Amino acid sequence: MELDKDNCIKMNDGNKIPALGFGTYSPDEVQKSKCEEATKVAIEVGFRHIDGAFVYGTEEAVGRAVQQKIADGTVKREEIFYTGKLWSTFHRPELVRTCLEQSLRKLKFDYIDLFIIHNPMSLKPGADVLPVDENGKFIFDVVDLCQTWEAMEACKEAGLVKSIGVSNFNCRQLEMILNKPGLKYKPAVNQVECHPYFNQSKLLAFCKSKDILLEAYCALGSQRDKTWVDQSSPVLLEDPVLGAIAKKYNRSPALVALRYQLQRGIVVLFKTYTKKRIEENFQVFYFHLSEEDMKTIDGLNKNFSYVNLNGFLGHPQYPFKDE
């Protein structure tokens, strides 16, 4: 999966995706308020791939940032690659387009470049994005994801999205889609948690064999959001091995972690609202890790996941990680 001169990778449907993406997940209202300005800075620095989602609650802010950068001549809409995500309360096939159209309205876009199923666990449809019962347990829905995928394909054929994919799918769930009778389009990408402590080597090999791009979130460890992340978990960017390699190249541990994924053929996302870090992370294209250092980073793998999804315990699609 070679990068072209614009640092993009061609997907299995012929469309190109920028290999480095700017994430817009915001765990609280303070972070959400910074999203618009940070997205504008990212575009000014040179980022063209913006990763968002219906459930993030930041699509209006992202849309405003993109529209302002179009208005001032920095970019054209076709130069921006935006990823949106189908949330779990919209898995029923008749609801898929509803979710997409809500995102399009918030963004003020005519189309989304990549639309992916956010995760394979279906939740009860309704106004609550995280519906829970009186005991605080998630209320699941039972949906055939093959039917959800057919509705995704219909959105592509309607011209509302250019590419479609999935997120948090394991090999078994990917096989379910790939083996679906009458499949029109296979997933272009599978976006998953992936970093040196959880390098997803098995899933990466499977995706490569099926010409599906793997895309990494939590590539720098995690933002340590208390909703999903155990606060006692190790801090990836403080790992001494990563630190030593970073020192060798006169780069930050974050840049080394990002570069590691690019050299594995993985599209990589990062999220920071700090201008200095946004500018720094764009430097990932300007150095190369040796084969020896790549193997050393491979050796950090612990199959350790920062994102704790035990709330989905009992769902028919749980667990969705490949051990």
Contact 212, 189 (CB under 8 A): yes
Crossing angle of helices 291-298 and 253-263, rounded to 10°: 100
DSSP letter (8 states) at residue 323? -
| Distance between CA atoms of residues 253 and 40, nearest Å | 25
Does 195 appear as a known binding residue? Answer: no
| Distance between CA atoms of residues 176 and 166, nearest Å | 12
List 281's β-bridge partners, or say none: none
| Distance between CA atoms of residues 60 and 277, nearest Å | 23
Q: What is the DSSP string of 185-254?
A: ---SEEEEE-BTTB--HHHHHHHHHTT-EEEEESTTS----TTTB-TTS--GGG-HHHHHHHHHHT--HH
Residue with tokens 């028919």: 316
Q: How many CB atoms lie within 10 A of CB 110?
A: 9
Within 8 A by CB and 6+ apart from 161, the residues are 84, 100, 111, 112, 113, 114, 115, 152, 155
Asked whether the bond before 319 is cis by omega within 30 degrees of 0, the reply is: yes
Q: Which helix (H) or strand (E) holds 34?
A: helix 29-45
Contact 236, 197 (CB under 8 A): yes
> Is 56 noted as a catalytic residue in this protein?
yes
Residue with tokens 């990466």: 204
Q: Which of 56, 111, 260, 273 is catalytic?
A: 56
Contact 291, 259 (CB under 8 A): no
Residue among 51, 54, 41 at smallest CA distance from 269 = 51
What residues are designated binding site? 118
Catalytic residues: 56
Residue ranges for the known binding site for substrate are 118
